[in-house]
Amino acid sequence: MNFKGKDIISIKDFSKPEINYILDYSKKMVDFAKGEKYIDILKGKVMSSLFFEPSTRTMLSFGCAMNRLGGRVIGFSDPGKTSQKKGESLADTIRMADSYSDLIVIRHPQEGAARLATEFAEVPVINAGDGAGQHPTQCLLDLFTILTEKKKIEGNKVILLGDLKYGRTVHSLAYALSLYGAELTFVSPKSLEMPREVVDECKDLGVKPVSTSNLEKSIRDTDVLYVTRIQKERFPDAEEYNKVVGTYTIDNKLLQNAKKDLIIMHPLPRLAEINPEVDTTPHALYFKEAFNGVPLRMALLSLTIGGEL
């Protein structure tokens, strides 16, 4: 399998054997990701980190991954301090990053921005989130987390909860979980249901997702509860946000009805949708999930620009 020079824009660009290969390869990166072993297979390589939207985990774990592989990072996290402020086009910004680096990681508020960037870059482009579109690297680390904890992806009963309309992580994950034949339940307020096209993609892959707003009932026989934040920044109207914020809260009382080995995931940042009292229960996997971003992204960087271990 050859990923050299490949853009990573959508999880839909990958076949199941390709995803399996990446997940296997990520396992080999764990000790390096923790700093317990050392490699420098990306020595001399430079990654552009272009964040047009706020980020903590995605930006820092990409940076960490590049450093752990011996590479270096240039970039920005505040586009207001770049020539974008003077009116420069995205195309020209990408052309510059292309000439200064070996790979571009981009997060942008507009859906399709990462795909557009590939038109102006010779080097590989990785989509670190494009508006309400896709978040393929988060999806891969989520799959990696489920695989590590549950030993398999197929057959798990998974709830995707919260803002299924604007949440890009769940758009990518619903597709990928369908590829593996997981059982899907979508739980959201009525106004934030999973977009029709994502539901259709799942059905095309042979999965029949159940949509409901009743979390208490659905949680009983669930293996994985994937919680998301209501994406305030994507609401055209503050009133609409106020109507749905606080609809679901995961707390210890709710978890009394859950399976003992239920795992709770969240791409983070978490606001009030998970009560901090849950953090110390064996269900809470979200911080480990965030760490998994490092080995997973090390694998992607190594496969696209480094040559393999």
Amino acid, single-letter form, for residue 102: D
Catalytic residue, chosen from 45, 68, 107, 266, is 107
Of 168 and 283, nearer to ligand NCD (C-beta) is 168
Task: Kindly give the pairing relationship between strand 263-265 and strand 183-187.
Answer: unpaired
Of 169 and 188, nearer to ligand NCD (C-beta) is 169
Min CB(95)–ligand NCD separation in Å: 25
CA separation, residue 166 to residues 231, 254, 265, 309 (Å): 6, 25, 18, 37
48-53-56 Cα angle (round to 5): 75
Min CB(285)–ligand NCD separation in Å: 14
Of 120 and 235, nearer to ligand NCD (C-beta) is 235
The answer to whether 86 is a known catalytic residue is: yes
The answer to whether 95 is a known catalytic residue is: no
Amino acid, single-letter form, for residue 141: L
Sign of the Cα torsion 223, 136, 205, 22 reads negative
Catalytic residue, chosen from 86, 151, 196, 260, is 86
Say which residues have a Cβ less than 8 Å from residue 81's Cβ, sequence separation at least 6. none
Catalytic residue, chosen from 45, 68, 108, 135, is 135
Say if CB 103 and CB 48 are below 8 A apart.
yes
The answer to whether 168 is a known catalytic residue is: no
The answer to whether 58 is a known catalytic residue is: yes
Q: What whole-number distance in Å separates Cα of residue 218 and Cα of residue 212?
A: 8
Min CB(120)–ligand NCD separation in Å: 23
Of 58 and 185, nearer to ligand NCD (C-beta) is 58
Q: What whole-number distance in Å separates Cα of residue 141 and Cα of residue 62?
A: 12
Q: Which residues bind ligand NCD (CB under 6 A)?
A: 57-58, 129, 135, 138, 168-169, 229, 267-268
The answer to whether 171 is a known catalytic residue is: no
Min CB(300)–ligand NCD separation in Å: 15
- Catalytic positions, written as ranges: 57-58, 86, 107, 135
